[in-house]
Amino acid sequence: MTDVTKLNWSRWYRDPSRWPHRASNRLFLAEAVLRIAPLLIFPWDDIFVAGTMADEQPFLPEALDAFDEEGNPRPKVHAAWAPVLLAYLSAAEFTSRSMQWQDPDAWLAAHRYDPASGGVVFDEAQAYTSGTDVSFEHWETAFLQAAEINDLRKAGMICMPLLARAVADMAIAGDVRTIARPINGGEEVELKPEQWLVDDASYRLASCGLDLENPFDVDATPTHLIFIDLKGFDEHVALYAGRHMISLIEEGITPDEFGIKSPSKKALYPTLVAKAYPLMKAHVQAHPQEYHRSVLRQIVEVELGRVSDGVFEAARDLLKVDYPHITDGGAPVGTARRRVTNITPKLGIIEGGKP
């Protein structure tokens, strides 16, 4: 599987102004991914994508574990962890940051031009501390910074493969049309569903492209950028997300519970009918005698989740055009008729079902 932390997510996801021009009926792949994510994942933040690339930060104890209630250092914790913390966020760097926030003039005065490096450096003599004499504020800043970056990295490692799976699943099912366009422009080529049959499409999401001659080579330099047809996109994304939502927090809140809006049920109605009908048809083709409502509804709801009676009956009406026998009230075609009993002779029917 693709190691998403090694992919370059910054090129297309850091700055939308760098996205390529597109036709009004197309979405650039990065744009589509950021449109899918809030419906699929809670809580979502676009910074998760770039955070996927972050280096793993050191584990640090919380400041409350490194200091007692009076704010005094706990010697054992400082002896074990202060060197790690200072290697991660030095006293000079922390002091420079604090001065920049609190006293910009002092911050400017404490920096000088370094001809050797050609950059501006902080005069470490201005640092508030040295060695292992670390303040509570310094410790807390380092801990929160490392924890935030690690959380973003972890979120990206979870989310990006899920989003890649979502795009691939919908493309394979034919729910969305994906189009490849040569880099710098040229004639578009529609990608076939089977061209998304990959173990992990994360590398395509990162590059937003593929080598059309070697579409399954994860190391190939892309020759084409990937776009998605807008027709039906929002509706199919809403249906997909409804069955695959995840929560990144212990409370388990999902996008729909938080109030993330997707197309209304009325807007989804024709899409649901269009998806339910071929599911029914495929089942009846394979099992001509299993066409009763309970069976067909189960077939549909396994794939689509619960659907309304209106959606189900509309799809079944389409099926009746192809298979009129499903309206037969008796036993399924090809089986023996049920024996009719206890019917009054006035109707011309006697025990055994014979007139």
Each domain of the chain, given as residue ranges in start order, spans 1-90+127-261, 264-355
Q: Is 191 left (phi over 0), alpha (psi -120 to 50) or beta?
A: beta
For position 263, what pLDDT does the model report?
A: 66
- For the chain, the average pLDDT equals 85
pLDDT > 90? residue 129: no
Flag whether pLDDT at 317 surpasses 90: no
Q: How confident is the model at residue 344 (pLDDT cuts 50, 70, 90)?
A: very low
| Measured CA distances, 117 to 90, 112, 127, 159, 274 (Å) | 19, 11, 21, 39, 64
Rounded average pLDDT over 272-290: 85
| Cα gap 10→8, rounded to integer Å | 6
Query: Residue 328 — very low, low, confident or very high, per pLDDT cuts 50/70/90?
Result: low
> Each residue of 24-44: pLDDT tens digit?
999 999 999 999 999 999 999
Rounded to an integer, the average pLDDT of 155-175 is 96
Q: Give whole-number Cα distances, 251 to 192, 257, 272, in Å.
A: 40, 11, 30
The percent of residues above 90 in pLDDT, for the chain, comes to 54
Q: pLDDT digit string (tens) for 201-240?
A: 999 999 999 999 999 999 999 999 999 999 999 999 988 9
What is the predicted pLDDT for the residue at 335?
Answer: 47
| Tokens linked to 29 | 């792949």
Greater pLDDT, 161 or 127: 161
Is the model's pLDDT at 354 over the cut of 50? no
Q: With pLDDT > 70 as the criterion, what percentage of the chain qualifies?
A: 86
**pLDDT exceeds cutoff 90 at 63:** yes
- Give the Cα-Cα-Cα angle 268, 273, 277 (nearest 5 degrees): 155
Q: 342 is written with which tokens?
A: 């206890």
* Range scoring the smallest mean pLDDT among 153-167, 245-259, 265-279, 318-332: 318-332
Q: What are all long-range contacts of 277-284, with beta carbons under 8 Å and residues at least 24 apart? A: 277/315, 277/318, 277/319, 279/303, 279/304, 280/315, 280/316, 280/319, 281/319, 281/322, 284/319, 284/322, 284/323, 284/326
- Residue 264: pLDDT band by 50, 70, 90 thresholds? low
Look at residue 88 in the predicted model and tell me its pLDDT.
94
pLDDT score at 265 = 64
Cα–Cα distance list, 152 to 35, 45, 55, 279 (Å): 19, 9, 10, 40
Give pLDDT, residue 340. 40
